[in-house]
Amino acid sequence: MKRAFPIFAVLTAALLAYGLYQALWVAPTDRLQGDVYRIIYYHVPSAWTMFSFFALNFVSSIVYLIRRNPRADAVAVASAEVGVVFNTVVLVTGPLWARPVWGIWWTWDIRLTSTLVLWLIYVSYLLLRRFSSGGQMPVLAAALAVFGALDMPLVYFSIWFFRTQHPQPVIGGGGSIDPRMLQVWLLNWIAFQCFGLLVFAARYRLEVLSQEVEEMQALESLLEVRGSR
């Protein structure tokens, strides 16, 4: 397992580099938007990766609530953090694309808004974990994660209906996709997904290690008390 990590890391770096090359030079220039549209080769794959990690957080939170397995909690916190990182990337690259193409930094359309709400929910999750004291914090965090996941379909629905009632120009709207563009999209998504998994693995290991250290520290203070008697 330890040897696999560097090999996988090198492969991922290669994929990312290749994806970048494809995004900048091989993918055809968009007729309407020019070269700026290439931002979506980072923006969209990051969004897909983000969703995958938030889904992982949801599943591991449920597992933790049922089984109280500390490994599940480690998966939960690691996936939440990595998800938030990718979420931040999506929220930053989105306006950077919208501004030159549509002239506005932000609009309350379905995708941008739901991405922002997702970010808010998971940042509040991470804040709860940080500010919570006591050994039962993972339970509380898992409960919050379940609430957040239940909320998301409602968020999506409400914004969708709001937009149909108060329509505004859609950013990144439809239109047929050049198959060459789709290829570069998929390639970059696989690259970022692998990168995300690597970072996740590192964060997971950090969490498992610190769980063990905490246990040992607790044990030590117990022994000290016993010893001093």
Chain positions contacting another protein, by CB under 8 A: 20, 34-36, 38-39, 42-43, 46, 65, 81, 85, 88-89, 92-93, 96-97, 99-100, 117, 120-121, 124, 127-128, 131-134, 136-137, 139-140, 143-144, 146-148, 150-151, 154-155, 157-159, 161-162, 165, 195, 199, 202-203, 206, 209-210, 213, 216-217, 220
End-to-end CA, the chain: 44
Are 57 and 83 in contact, with CB atoms under 8 Å apart?
yes
Tell the smallest beta-carbon distance from residue 187 to another protein (Å): 15
Q: Is 218 exposed, middle or buried (0-12, 13-18, 19+ CB in 10 A)?
A: exposed
Which amino acid belongs to residue 156? Y
Residue number, 36 or 197, with CB nearest to another protein? 36
Tell the smallest beta-carbon distance from residue 133 to another protein (Å): 6
Quick one: DSSP state of residue 170?
P
Q: Give dist(CA 44, CA 93) in Å, integer.
A: 9
Residue number, 32 or 131, with CB nearest to another protein? 131
**Phi and psi dihedrals of 167, rounded to 5?**
-70, 145
DSSP bridge partners of 30: 34
Residue number, 89 or 194, with CB nearest to another protein? 89
Residue number, 30 or 71, with CB nearest to another protein? 30
Tell the smallest beta-carbon distance from residue 161 to another protein (Å): 5
Residue number, 136 or 168, with CB nearest to another protein? 136
Q: Is 225 exposed, middle or buried (0-12, 13-18, 19+ CB in 10 A)?
A: exposed
Tell the smallest beta-carbon distance from residue 160 to another protein (Å): 10
